[in-house]
Amino acid sequence: MVKPAYLWLLLPLAAWSGYKTAPPRAAGSVPAAAAEAPDPQVLAMAAELAKAQPADLEKQLRELLAQAESPGWMNRLKLICARWAETDPAGALAWCEANKTPTVVRLRILTEWALLDSDAAWAAVTNDEERVSITRMLLNEDRETFMVWFRQVRKPLPDLDPAWALLAERHGKELEEIATALLGESQDPPGSFSSLALYFRLAAQARADRDPAAAIAWAMGLDERVARVTVEAAFRQWGKKDPVAAWKEIAKVNAAAAPEAGDEAPKEKPPIRISGSVGSEILERLAKDDPAAAIELLREPGAFTRGEGLNGISAMETAFRDLLAEGKVKPLEAYEMIAFSDPTLGLNIFPDIWRGLPAEKLAEAAKALVAQPAGDPLSMAISGVAGAWMAKDPVAAAAFIAAFPDENLRRSMYSGSFDASGSDPARQAEVLAAIPAQDRAAVFAIYLSRFGELRPGEQSPGYAGPELKPELLAPVFRDLPASEYLDQSVKITAMNWGQQDPTAALAWVDSLSDPAARKAAYGAAYGAAFEGWTFKNPNAAAAWLADKKDGPERDAAALPVVRSLVRTDAEVAWEWAESIGDTGIRQEARLAAMKVWALRDREAAQAAYKRISGKLPAADAAKLSACFGGS
């Protein structure tokens, strides 16, 4: 009988047995996979090949290559190559050469051969490119054999395959040594980015898993050609585990990297500033679990420049959209979190976050939001909700919007549906036409005003809005009630059209029923059409206009002609100004002409002024006289 005390000797054995039989860990939030039965098709293929000889393998490979690729195709190829490599690898390669097989066959045979006899396979490969390809394939086959080859070829560069991370766990130190040696040999000039940074990135991830602060300190000290990428990789990895801590450290690093006033002396090694994309990624991750905390971080000064902040907003937008769609955040909660105005980031309402909600939730969101205090945040939020709702249930959405009494909010909602039409001009016109007449022009004008001023000329530097197709928009503005917004909408349309097809634009202008809109459009269309024309051939443009009958339309059109003519011939411009019937427009035109004429030919300009000054009201005469410097 064994003495009880001897049983204590079994403890190490129990520990070792427990360790070796430990169950695998499942990844992240994905539930552990139940063991799957082996693929019977693969087993059957393997059994069939187990005793195959080169002649059989030749036949099988020939048949396989004649078939189109299918899910089982690659498995069969791998098995045939594995069998051939263990029976006659040199013969297999010779057969491939003789039969001009696709490269993948030769590479598979060599890879299988390398797994069986690395040295012999290495000797059979004649060029570096092929060695690199095989090395890369070995990474997914057997990391020890991979390292044997990698030590010699020192390629390829790491990618995002998890095999690299596993490799770095076991051979991290050696990878760093190889990468450092490669960097020493590299011809990349100082200050440039070296692709070798990808090795250091890998090392940084492994180090950051153990001790993020130490990993960042190590990365900061690296050669500047690889430091930035490496530091950012360490932050990214840290952000996966502790986003708040990583974020706060980024803010510190960036604050330290900010240049101080008067600090213009070049530094030996420029400080590293963490790019906004790293912070955005961290924010997005945090927002998925704790959106309020993410918003709080976004608003914390220091980590982001304004431009980077906008990236951050974009990242949050994705997170909020998903949270809303998954029901993890209610629309009103989301609105309350995001409806803030920040001095650095501006107004931050994400118009796109609502689009994942189903129609009934959008209806609820719209009803809940309209009860909130009015203001720009609400207008933008309700515009986003309406846009998404119109896309999913246009009938219900349109009915809700049309019945809404607050004019401003109603127009914001329509504006959202217009915004959701995207950049397709035909769709824009279609959506616009569906907006009731009382709001249509206002929606269009307010919407476009967000993109800056549209001015005549091929490029409007201040305008960053969608492309417009005036010929599609024009019918939409016909017979609308007169309003300031209608004038603006018609003007924008006319200006666009006038640049492309002045005759068609002017014919449309003539057909407008509202006189004010027609007047606004005349000025815009002529201005646009003449912008280029009169500059180069003002007389031809003027001659064209001379045929128009006197009247308000001609007067409106003549003003831009005067403005164009004045650049080349102030005297002729003055004559044109004199031909304008409307006293207000005439005075404006006279001033435009006189300002230039007085500088170019003071005497002639003064003579012209004297001829008319007696007939002018005192105020008008004084303004013209001021063009001569008060004389």
Partner 1 sequence: MKYLFPLLACLAVFLAARQFGGALESGIPGASSQKDAGRGTKGLARQAERLAGRTCKSPAALERLHRSGELAEEDLIVAIRQAAAHDPEGVWAWIEAGDYGPHGDGTRSKYLQVVLSKWFGKDPEAALAKMNLHHPNNSYLAGYVIGMLATGTTEEAAAVRDHLDALVDMVGNQERAILFPPRTAEGAAVLMALPEGRSREILLGRFAAAWLETDSGSAAAWVKQLPDIVRNKAMADFTGEALNDRPWISEAGRKFAMEWVMNEASPAEKIRFGPMLAENLAKENPAAAIQWATANLSGDALEDATSKVITRLLSTDPEAAREIAETLSAGDGRTAAVAGVAGTMLKKDPAAAIEWWLDHTGDHNPANRTDARTAAALGSKWFQADPDSFRAYLADPDGRELPFTMVQQALKKMMEDRDGTFDWIASLPPANRVPVIKSAYMVLAQESPEKAAAAFDSRPDLATGDGARMILNYWYGRDPNKAVAWVASLPWGGTREAALSAVRKIAEQQVQKGQEPPQQLKELLH
| 27 touches partner 1 (CB under 8 A) | yes
| 21 touches partner 1 (CB under 8 A) | yes
| 221 touches partner 1 (CB under 8 A) | no
Q: How far apart are alpha carbons 137 and 503 in whole angstroms?
A: 66
| 31 vs 189 by CB, closer to partner 1 | 31
| 163 vs 621 by CB, closer to partner 1 | 163
263 near 312, Cβ under 8 Å?
no
| 128 vs 430 by CB, closer to partner 1 | 430
| 79 vs 486 by CB, closer to partner 1 | 79
310 near 345, Cβ under 8 Å?
yes
| 362 vs 442 by CB, closer to partner 1 | 362
In order, the DSSP letters of 56-113 are HHHHHHHHHHHSPP-HHHHHHHHHHHHHHHHH-HHHHHHHHHHHT--HHHHHHHHHHH
Q: How far is the CB of 209 from partner 1 (least distance, A)?
A: 6
Restricting to residues 535-594, name those near partner 1 by CB under 8 A: 535-537, 540, 567-568
176 near 200, Cβ under 8 Å?
yes
Find the helix or strand (DSSP H, E) in which 355 lies: none
In order, the DSSP letters of 428-460 are HHHHHHHS-HHHHHHHHHHHHHTT----SSS--
| 310 touches partner 1 (CB under 8 A) | no
Binding segment for partner 1 among 72-80, 92-100, 290-298, 341-349 (CB under 8 A)? 72-80
Q: How far apart are alpha carbons 512 and 508 in whole angstroms?
A: 7
| 55 touches partner 1 (CB under 8 A) | no
| 362 touches partner 1 (CB under 8 A) | no
237 near 212, Cβ under 8 Å?
yes
Among 92, 110, 132, 167, binds partner 1 (CB under 8 A): 167
Q: What are phi and psi of 197, to 5 degrees?
A: -55, -25
| 68 touches partner 1 (CB under 8 A) | no
Q: How far apart are alpha carbons 630 and 313 in whole angstroms?
A: 55
| 407 touches partner 1 (CB under 8 A) | no
| 461 touches partner 1 (CB under 8 A) | no
Among 129, 290, 300, 424, binds partner 1 (CB under 8 A): 424
| 14 touches partner 1 (CB under 8 A) | yes
| 42 touches partner 1 (CB under 8 A) | yes
| 451 touches partner 1 (CB under 8 A) | no
Size of the site for partner 1 (CB under 8 A): 98
Q: What are phi and psi of 424, to 5 degrees?
A: -85, 110
Q: How far apart are alpha carbons 109 and 117 in whole angstroms?
A: 12
Restricting to residues 463-482, name those near partner 1 by CB under 8 A: 471
| 292 touches partner 1 (CB under 8 A) | no
Restricting to residues 102-161, name those near partner 1 by CB under 8 A: 112, 115-116, 137, 139-141, 143, 160-161
| 112 vs 487 by CB, closer to partner 1 | 112
The one-character DSSP state at 28 is T
In order, the DSSP letters of 107-160 are HHHHHHHHHH-HHHHHHH---HHHHHHHHHHHHHH-HHHHHHHHHHH------S
